[in-house]
Amino acid sequence: MPRPTSLRARLVLAAVATVVSLLVAAVAYRRLAAPPVDSVAVVDNRDRLDALLRGRAIDPARLAPRPLDDERADVVREPLSLNTARVFFTQAGVNRPFNQEFYYARAPNLEFRVEWPEHPDGAYVVKTNSLGMREDEEVFPIRPDLRVIVTGDSHTDGVCSNDESFASRLEALLAARDAERHVEVLNAAAGGYSFYNYLGVFEHYRYLEPHVFVMAVYGGNDFSAMVGLQRYFHHRPPPHRREPGVAQLVGDDAAPRGIGAQELGQALHFADNPEDVAIAVETATRITREIDRLGRKSGIRAIVVYVPPPFRGQPHRFVEETRTMLARVGLDEAELAVSDRIADAWLAAVRESDVPVLDLRPLFRSAEECLYFRRDSHIDLLAHERIADALLPIVESVLEAP
């Protein structure tokens, strides 16, 4: 077919092409931006994960030991293909862009509303910038007087609008301290992240030259999620598992939903694989020390925040739920407290490395108010406010340190 040569024909074709491309983009955006029904999805991916680990398992005697020291953490990793990454992170490459460093991020340039009855407005807005960060604005092109990058999982990402997260609240507090200081606190968290993701986020965004890097660790499932990848990188066999899994044992009628299942799933993992407790402490320590080591070389100070899970963060507020769920899965209080034991040992090692720590357990346990949403037990708006208040003096002290 001959190509049109008249200006009018070319303009008509250009207009049609533009309309078609906009319609395609709109459909793609709606599919990408449509919020999930629930804020937490419990996905049973055990069979695929076990098959993957079984195919890579190597006799431990053939693996050279790697001592833990203060000079180099020696975090064992290797690149993951998209298909492999999706075994560990089902959202990678689906509704979250895949990358090799931290495996996936929130999609860029999103904006959608999530109905949330517990929010004062009845809903909140999820918005991302062109880097997929939970920010209303783009990253400032020139390094500001103070730049902080915060990473974490869905609790840090926030079941809230951007300006309600503790990252944004921290930015406001830091700016109020000095009106002449240009402050930027960037929220680079995403649901499903754990320690290896946090290290990847640090490595990826070092080019932004932050002054401070805040790693917010969630004690409900970050340790067990990390151990899954550790098994892959260290060629360890699949873990022992009980049947049925926690998702089936807990049931759809149990409350709190989602997050409670994650916390119990982690407790079940360590109850069935007690050797992984020490491995979780060591791996978390290695990764934290590596972030600190790389940061100090670049003039970036690391801060660790520990966010406790609901059953251990405010146990007095979840008495009935805890009792019911423990009975269903066959665990006791001591086994549920494994997150505290891992956190205690890991945070002690972190403090020995002179990395500032904000352990939120005392703050949460002494709070008169509930600091978790009842619907799914993500930290609520008041928790974000309290975390920002507690984090402010730590950031300021880090900046004043020689």
Domain residue ranges of the chain, discontinuous segments joined by +? 1-34, 43-400
Mean pLDDT of the chain: 86
Q: In this structure, what DSSP letter does residue 18 have?
A: H
| CB contact set of 279 (below 8 Å; sequence gap of 6+) | 227, 230
Phi, psi of 252 (to 5 degrees): -70, -20
- At 402 the pLDDT is 75
H/E element, 289: helix 275-297
- At 47 the pLDDT is 87
Phi, psi of 206 (to 5 degrees): -60, -30
- At 58 the pLDDT is 84
Q: At what angle do helices 222-233 and 195-204 cross, to 10 degrees?
A: 80
Span 161-182, mean pLDDT?
97
Q: Are 385 and 166 in contact (CB under 8 A)?
A: yes
pLDDT in tens, 188-236: 999 999 999 999 999 999 999 999 999 999 999 999 999 999 999 999 9
Per-residue pLDDT at 251 exceeds 80? no
With bands split at pLDDT 50, 70 and 90, how would you rate the model's confidence at 38?
very low
Span 356-363, mean pLDDT?
98
- At 260 the pLDDT is 76
**Residue scoring higher pLDDT (71 or 164):** 164
Which region among 9-23, 53-67, 179-193 has the lowest average model confidence (pLDDT)?
9-23
pLDDT in tens, 62-95: 665 555 554 555 899 999 999 999 999 999 998 8
Q: At what angle do helices 166-177 and 381-400 cross, to 10 degrees?
A: 50
Span 110-127, mean pLDDT?
97
d(Cα 326, Cα 242) in Å, to the nearest integer?
15
d(Cα 28, Cα 26) in Å, to the nearest integer?
5
d(Cα 72, Cα 44) in Å, to the nearest integer?
36
The CATH topology of domain 43-400 is Rossmann fold (3.40.50)
> Cα dihedral angle (270, 275, 276, 278), rounded to 10 degrees?
120
Per-residue pLDDT at 36 exceeds 70? no
Which tokens sit at 399?
């900046």
Global confidence as pTM: 0.87
| Secondary-structure breakdown of the chain: helix, strand, coil percentages, each rounded to the nearest 5 | 50, 10, 40
Q: What's the start-to-end Cα distance of the chain, in Å?
A: 72
Closest CA to 153 of 182, 119, 192: 192
Burial 218-257 (b: 16+ CB within 10 A, else e): bbbbbbbbbbbbbbbebebebbeeeeebbbebbeeeebbb
Which tokens sit at 268?
């079940």
Per-residue pLDDT at 10 exceeds 60? no
pLDDT in tens, 105-117: 999 999 999 999 9
Q: For residue 165, which amino acid is it?
A: S
